[in-house]
Amino acid sequence: MKRDNIKTFSKKLSGKASEWDSAFSVEKADEVLAFHKSIPGYEETPLVRLDALSKELGVSSIAVKDESPRFGLNAFKGLGGSYCIAKYIAGELGADMKDVDYDLLTSPETNEKIKDLTFVTTTDGNHGRGIAWTAKMLGVRAKVFMPKVSTRERLESIRALGADAEITEYNYDDAVRYAKDYAEKNGWPLVQDTAWEGYEDIPLSIMQGYMTMIREAVSQLDAPPTHVFLQAGVGAMSGAITGFLANYYGNEKPVITIVEPDKADCIYQTALADDGKLHFVTGDMDTIMAGLSCGEPCTIGWSLLDAHAEHFVSMPDNIAAKGMRVLASPLPGDTKIVSGESGAAPFGFVCEILENPDMKDIKETIGLGPDSRILCISTEGDTDKASYRRIVWDGEYPSV
């Protein structure tokens, strides 16, 4: 990979908190985890230590949290969908989230009150599956819209969970606006995994739901990470993880790096402009990292990233493809991870900057060296199996 193909922006943290910090406290994460644990089939996802690779690449450790087994959905997104729908229903029942669990949500009395609900959303695939799965579990309906670049495989995987799903002619952000209008016209709740001014309650609970993966990870790690690498679409997931890490580790917070596809780098553009405004990317945003193909940052996510993330990266698809291949063919002694395009993006970036001498300046700026303990989250498995094979088996998207 040529150095020019990767753009980075780094900043010194101002030390100013985010107004959303308190919503991502350790106490809140424990409450969210307790809710998820009440769902049948809940299991902690594995934290995989790649010891041979960390030795090879000259760092102390590399750990990858593998979210592919999460609730049988092949991605982390069910965490947010289930928590936000539970919280919405808690509101309908007048119950406190601390008292809400799977048994309450699926009781005949609750079902009688909620059975006519339809939850509306837009998705590139993973969030929609999380919503469809939760709706099915609770005996309510889901209406799911998808951007025009969505694959048939992703559409069918949502329909298989019983949702009414369709591919629209819009890009992701326009499809969100379409879903919003549709929900309003029908008087149904919009459960969108991104926030904008005036629409923050539901995305906030989705983001809080994501904390379960990092709450588990910090307990699974042998030692606190020095560097965490996260992928961003709208920045809700990375914002939630970052907010939690800032609360959990305080002054010892790891250095946080956010990676995005160069065709949909709205978080990078917003960081770079540094003018207090959100910066959008428009057009088809045609990237293999389908989950990250979003052009409009989430307000809550950006606020947390602005306060606590140091480095921002805009990079080509080939880096994610490399991450998928390295995870699929580990060094002897290391465990294989099946990771999809969006899942492997930060890990691919880590491999590239540690391995490629042309990237030395990035490695130095981020401060990686023999004492570094790296954490990445593989947020999805092979959610597009045909694409996974083309990349991992046939070498599609080679290094350029």
Ligand X SMILES: Cc1ncc(COP(=O)(O)O)c(C=O)c1O
Candidate residues 126, 303, 314, 339; the one interacting with ligand X per rule CB under 6 A: 126
317-328 vs 345-355: helix crossing angle, rounded to 10: 90
Query: In angstroms, what CA-CA distances link 113 with 98, 139, 186, 207, 399?
Result: 20, 11, 18, 26, 54
CB of 127 to ligand X, least distance (A): 5
Candidate residues 73, 190, 237, 259; the one interacting with ligand X per rule CB under 6 A: 237
77 is catalytic: yes
State how far the Cα of 88 lies from the Cα of 225, in Å rounded to an integer.
34
Joined together, the tokens standing for residue 117 give 């609900």
Joined together, the tokens standing for residue 400 give 């350029």
CB of 110 or CB of 192, closer to ligand X:
192
CB of 201 to ligand X, least distance (A): 16
- The conformation of residue 74, written as its DSSP 8-state character, comes to T
Site for ligand X in 174-203 (CB under 6 A): 193
Active site residue: 77, 87, 253, 363, which one?
77
CB of 61 or CB of 194, closer to ligand X:
194
Q: Is 127 in the site for ligand X (CB under 6 A)?
A: yes
Joined together, the tokens standing for residue 362 give 């990035």
Query: For residue 199, what are the contacts with CB-CB under 8 A and spacing of at least 6?
Result: 180, 190, 192
Q: b/e map of 100-124 (b: 16 or more CB within 10 Å)?
A: bbbebbeeeebeeebeebbbbbbbb
- DSSP H/E element including 30: helix 26-37
124 is catalytic: yes
Q: Is 61 in the site for ligand X (CB under 6 A)?
A: no
CB of 300 or CB of 359, closer to ligand X:
300
Site for ligand X in 288-327 (CB under 6 A): 291-292, 294
CB of 193 or CB of 262, closer to ligand X:
193
Active site residue: 124, 193, 262, 265, which one?
124
CB of 187 to ligand X, least distance (A): 26
Least Cα distance to 172 among 294, 78, 88 occurs for 294
Site for ligand X in 336-395 (CB under 6 A): 342-343, 379-380
Candidate residues 233, 254, 346, 348; the one interacting with ligand X per rule CB under 6 A: 233
Applying CB under 6 A, which residues contact ligand X? 75, 77, 124, 126-127, 193, 231-238, 291-292, 294, 342-343, 379-380
